[in-house]
Amino acid sequence: AQKVTQAQTEISVVEKEDVTLDCVYETRDTTYYLFWYKQPPSGELVFLIRRNSFDEQNEISGRYSWNFQKSTSSFNFTITASQVVDSAVYFCALSEAFTGGYNKLIFGAGTRLAVHP
């Protein structure tokens, strides 16, 4: 069965610190997709990244970076030099390759990040 575990319920850091949000997943498929979303206090989930299971290259986008390790079934997210605007709940999600016309996402419980000035 598919499962996503975000063991860190809440993280609190001071501005400019680096912070890593952990995501561990379970799946029996060899083809699958991993996602990260950000949910600021306004409520809307904002898409951050999509990664397929055949692409293990790490990705960097500005202050954000993602480390995908199939050997440990992890897809961790690091924010470098955190800012107050990074305060939000972050969700990791998984979907198995699917031939239907839509996407079945399994979400983790989320990690609440608080960045203090």
Which positions lie near other proteins, rule CB under 8 A? 33, 35, 37, 42-47, 50, 52, 91, 95, 97-105, 107-110
Report the first-to-last Cα separation within the chain, whole angstroms.
Answer: 41
Nearer Cβ to other proteins (82/93): 93
Least distance from C-beta 54 to other proteins, angstroms? 12
Cβ contact 107:93 at 8 Å: yes
Least distance from C-beta 35 to other proteins, angstroms? 6
Sequence-ordered list of residues with C-beta below 8 angstroms from that of 8, at least 6 positions apart, any chain: 21, 22, 111
Nearer Cβ to other proteins (42/57): 42
Please give the single-letter amino acid code of residue 97: A
